[in-house]
Amino acid sequence: MDYSTEICIGCGCLEKDVQHPVFHGGLCAPCKEMFLETYFLYDDSGSASYCLICSAGKTVLICDAQTCSRCYCLECLDILVGPGTSKQARSLERWICFLCLPRDSYGLLKRRRKWRTKLKALYDQEYGKLKIFKTFSAWQRKPMHVLSLFSDISRELTELGFLGPDSDDGRLTYVLEVSNIKRTNVQQYGPVDFVFGATPRNGTIFNHCSAWYFYQFYRLLSYARPIEDSDRPFFWMFVDNLVLEDEVSDAATFRFFETNPLTVYDVKNGAVVSAVQVWGNIPSLNSKYSAPLWTVDMIQLRENLMKTNYMGTRLAKLIKKFFNPMKEYFRCVPAEDVHYP
């Protein structure tokens, strides 16, 4: 018997609940929950926030490969790969991680075959209704086509590398007034991989009420979706700048999107000055660790925003880090090739 499969490689306990999807070994129930919550989380720099092995780690090493942003904590490297591994890795000018290196095993750390399939299977088993698409290796990733409604996010997507100077580096279709957009129009845009929309922060555009933006977004989202049961990665995000009435917000949550929104706060000098609510199917939005919790009177905050002309942090900049998990599905332009609009 291979006893390593019975041990949680996250914490070393013997109470294995499932197999670790990426490396040989098990995960206990608490480590499994941490893994599921943190795998798709990225920090503001665009790198993974938690160790790929144990989903924790105070000090981590980040892979320097252009197509990877995974990180590993020093403790896991020294325990599983071998004593002194972390010191040796830190001395290198460019460190490549164990998912990018050609060999399957390094010390006790052994990469699973078809780990992306096992990763999806674990999410399907544990999350059920929440659909996680199978990730792609770098050579399989294709450029992303974005449909951006009411708000242009081309700058942020360019900064992340999803849009580039060449036609095969991804493209964005921006539509402000959608009243006359029909299903055939969306089909003419070509297959869409990501649909983004947002309510205006202050006032309205074209004298539409705030609810109009939500219902129009949902209408065009339904036009852009792949056929049912398609395995093609397809993402969407809708952002409310706290202008939707509670009745409409509840309808969005329970009747249409069927997912709870994430509240993202704009903080200045240690105080919350604005906030947005975000619905979407990007994996990071469904993690309880995706945004810090604040004790805020949302009703009072909404009233204060209505009384002022405060514009706050640019919307897409506030939520840009949540786009990062899509790097595991779509091609990104190397940083040195990015040109900002």
CATH node for 138-337: 3.40.50.150
CA separation for the pair 258, 254 (Å, rounded): 5
User: What pLDDT does residue 339 have?
Assistant: 42
Q: What is the pLDDT of residue 166?
A: 76
The parts of the chain modelled with pLDDT lower than 70 are 1-5, 129-130, 167, 202-206, 304-313, 334-341
CA distance 55 to 120: 17
Q: What is residue 268's predicted lDDT score, i.e. its pLDDT? A: 78
How is residue 231 written in tokens?
């395995």
Q: Where in the chain is the domain with CATH 3.40.50.150?
A: 138-337
Q: What is the pLDDT of residue 165?
A: 79
Which pairing describes strands 109-110 and 145-149: parallel, antiparallel, or unpaired? unpaired
The angle, 0 to 180 degrees and rounded to 10, between the axes of the packed helices 29-38 and 115-127 is 110
pLDDT number for residue 204: 58
Helix (H), strand (E), coil (C) string for the chain: CCHHHHCECCCCCCCCCEECCCECCEECHHHHHHHHHHCCCECCCCCECCECCCCCCCCEEECCCCCCCCEEEHHHHHHHHCCCHHHHHHHCCCCCCCCCCCCCEECCEEECCCHHHHHHHHHHHHHCCCCCCCCCCHHHCECCEEEEECCCCHHHHHHHCCCCCCHHHCEEEEECCCCCCCHHHHHHCCCCCEEEEECCCCCCCCCCCHHHHHHHHHHHHHHHCCCCCCCCCCEEEEEECCCCCHHHHHHHHHHHCCCCCEEEEEEECCEEEEEEEEEECCHHHHCCCCCCCCCCCHHHHHHHHHHCCCCCCCHHHHHHHHHHHHHHCECCCCHHHCCCC
Among candidate residues 274, 215, 221, 224, the one with its CA nearest the CA of residue 244:
215
Give the pTM: 0.89
Residue 317: the pLDDT is 80
Q: Give the model's pLDDT for residue 141.
A: 93
Are 278 and 319 within 8 A, CB to CB?
yes
